[in-house]
Structure 1
Amino acid sequence: MTSPPPPRSRTGPLGRPGRGRGRGRAGGHLIGTYGLLALTALLFLIFSVTLPRTFPTLDTISSILTTQSIPAILALGVTVPIATGNFDLSIGYGLGLAHVLVMRLIVNEGWPWPFACLAVITGSTVVGVLNGVIAEFGRIDSFIATLGTGSMLYACTGWITGGGRIVPGPQGLPAAFTDLYDSTFLGLPVPAFYVLALAVALWLLLERLPLGRYLYVIGSNPRAADLVGIPTRTYTVCAFAVSGLVVGCAGVLLAAQQQIGNPSVGIDYLLPAFAGALLGSTAIKPGRPNALGTLVAVAVLAIGLAGIGQLGAQFWATPLFNGGTLLIVVGLAGYSARRRLRTGVGEA
């Protein structure tokens, strides 16, 4: 009597997954890693075919690089606290305060613009440190802590401006200051190079330095980070400090762009920044916030907004697009995390 054939294994030689399963995993990994990059190219192609005379032009590319530079900088800035599992909701209010404070120091107080910019960036970094201290040492959820400090920053903005705008005199602002935003380099807007430099710096920080690995460990399991001796509070405060530093730089750039102090302008940048950072966590390094993914995500949002704008969308289409994208991204990220968890349990 012959024995029944052994059951078919789902793994190949040496316990490796079978070819079909391995190919499926490889395909899913490629989609997760480069899918957003492919979507960027697809959106650009669709709008180029739909709007062949206006969209695929150097003017449109320059406009995208210029107008989306500040949202991109903010998105990269909030990526660092998100890596630790925290959210800095004060960035919009901090941006508004930073840019009106620069205008106040230059226009009303007569400060040289380099000193005014340096003072504002330093103060914004201090605000970031305070956010981290309140959240970590005060044991207050970062959502609530930064929302509270953001409201206080907005109050400071109203106090400084008196609820009105800060308008330069007839002589205007120093040309060297406005050139921070208006000038070009190699035929491209200078703000695009700021974004690229910041993305490279954060990529090195998060992917190549021990500090970045510590931040990711804190974000994934803060208790385990404590057990292995990582000073979680110190590094979390450092993450908020980086966010504050970036917000200060973005505030200087916004002042050079607007050339007028508007106390309510910063709040509009909060949602696009988080949409870019959270969408970026689904690309390049799926499942964790990363600088290159954020850069690709900002490109997707920028191309989408530019395309629907040229199609004649109303003013309310921009917040609708950003809000809808954020909801979809959070939903997909949650689904992806649950799927990875189920897959890991099943394979264990």
Structure 2
Amino acid sequence: MTTPPSSSTSPSRPHRRRAAGHLVGAYGLPALTVVLFLVFSLVLPRTFPTRDTVDSILSTQSIPAVLALAATVPIVTGAFDLSLGYGLGLAHVMVLQLVVNEGWPWPWACLAVIAGGAVVGVLNGVVVEFGRIDSFIATLGTGSMMYAVTGWVTGGGRIVPGPQGLPSAFTDLYDSRFLGLPVPAFYVLVLAVALWLVLQRLPLGRYLYVVGSNPRAAELVGIPIRRYTVYAFTASGLIVGFAGVLLAAQQQIGNPSVGLDYLLPAFVGALLGSTAIQPGRPNALGTLVAVAVLAVGLTGIGQLGADFWTIPLFYGGTLLLAVGLAGYSARRLRTGADAARDAPAPPAPPPPGSGGTTGTAP
């Protein structure tokens, strides 16, 4: 008489498939970054795999990376802050206005602008939660108002320093190097690690994830949804203020319209990042990886001599792909559809680490 296969071995194949799918979802984007770098290095061996290219990527992509991390925090709670680009423009103009036209010492000007960014974040959160206005509409409205304030401060023109220029200590915030690398790269790294620790290791971050994944459940367990959403917008505004300081140190001229160019890259990075490291959940390290993919891709395309219109085409297509993948990953995380489809009969408990549990407990 033939002995049927043991029930302890029958679920091994579905579990292996799920584990392989999890690995691809979590680490596919970092692998894509490596593949893109290798491909461009082979196609452009004289210009791409060089120290100058690496330095350029680390330096020029620092501000988009900071802004993408700022966009990530409200997305954790299920909200979107469309005022990021307008806030960036206002912040960098205000730094130069205070230093050049008002004669403030640059450290105080920077601190004032960063604190002002936090205040703007609080206002955004209050409008969204206590005004009961959709975050898209609310932040688009507040962003438009910030753009108006930027135009009022600058009179529609640029803020240009005098012949003596800006203090070298201020411009060194962006231009200096540390351990042989551009110092803005270390700002991004420290910020990403700090956000990762807050979101993954502290109760505050867990509460934010619960608010974003299931507001009703958060309410039932006693999490004050409105307060934590305001916290998320406040953190976003604080980071935007810091990005404005970096942009002022980089540009050294106050341009009232420059911030809008960073809005689309920020959301592409944040949404694409939610498909990596922890698929289905916006996370800081995933955002960092997404920005790296975009930076390598754009740098390679630029060195190939592509036309200027390829950049918005690249960002637009990547945004659509990111939204689709993020939605798919979130549905898988919420419903466990793959696990239900592959489950054997009778069902066996999933092994530890297979992704069989969903949700986050505060």
The verdict on a shared fold, with TM-score over 0.5 as the criterion, is yes
What secondary structure does 2:80 align onto?
A: coil
Q: Are 1:276 and 2:263 counterparts?
A: no
Q: Which residue of 2 aligns with 1:216?
A: 209
Q: Which residues in structure 2 correspond to 1:30-179 (within 5 Å)?
A: 30-179=23-172
Q: Which residue of 2 aligns with 1:12?
A: 7
RMSD, matched Cα: 1.7
Amino acid at match of 2:247: L
Q: Deviations over 1:285-311 (max 9, x none)?
A: 000000110110000000000000000
Q: Which residue of 2 aligns with 1:323?
A: 316
Q: Deviations over 1:179-198 (max 9, x none)?
A: 00000001000000000000
On the 8 A contact 1:74/1:273 being kept in 2, the answer is yes
Amino acid at match of 2:145: M
On the 8 A contact 2:280/2:332 being kept in 1, the answer is no
On the 8 A contact 2:18/2:338 being kept in 1, the answer is no
What secondary structure does 1:169 align onto?
A: coil
Q: Which residues in structure 2 correspond to 1:229-268 (within 5 Å)?
A: 229-268=222-261
Amino acid at match of 1:196: L
- Taking the aligned partners of 1:227 and 1:18, their CA distance within structure 2 comes to 36
- Taking the aligned partners of 2:167 and 2:328, their CA distance within structure 1 comes to 51
- Taking the aligned partners of 1:214 and 1:344, their CA distance within structure 2 comes to 26
Deviation at 1:17, TM superposition (A): 6.0
Amino acid at match of 1:252: V
- Taking the aligned partners of 1:153 and 1:246, their CA distance within structure 2 comes to 16
- Taking the aligned partners of 1:90 and 1:174, their CA distance within structure 2 comes to 30
Percent identity over paired residues: 76
- Taking the aligned partners of 1:273 and 1:231, their CA distance within structure 2 comes to 28
Amino acid at match of 2:7: G
What secondary structure does 1:43 align onto?
A: helix
Amino acid at match of 1:185: F
Q: Which residue of 1 aligns with 2:350?
A: none
Deviation at 1:333, TM superposition (A): 2.3
Deviation at 1:77, TM superposition (A): 1.1
- Taking the aligned partners of 1:314 and 1:109, their CA distance within structure 2 comes to 41
Q: Which residue of 1 aligns with 2:357?
A: none
Give the TM-score of the pair, scaled to structure 1.
0.95
- Taking the aligned partners of 1:12 and 1:141, their CA distance within structure 2 comes to 50
Gaps of 5+ in 1: none
Gaps of 5+ in 2: 348-362
Amino acid at match of 2:99: I
On the 8 A contact 2:279/2:330 being kept in 1, the answer is no
- Taking the aligned partners of 1:193 and 1:305, their CA distance within structure 2 comes to 21
Amino acid at match of 1:12: S
- Taking the aligned partners of 1:335 and 1:117, their CA distance within structure 2 comes to 40
Q: Which residue of 2 aligns with 1:207?
A: 200
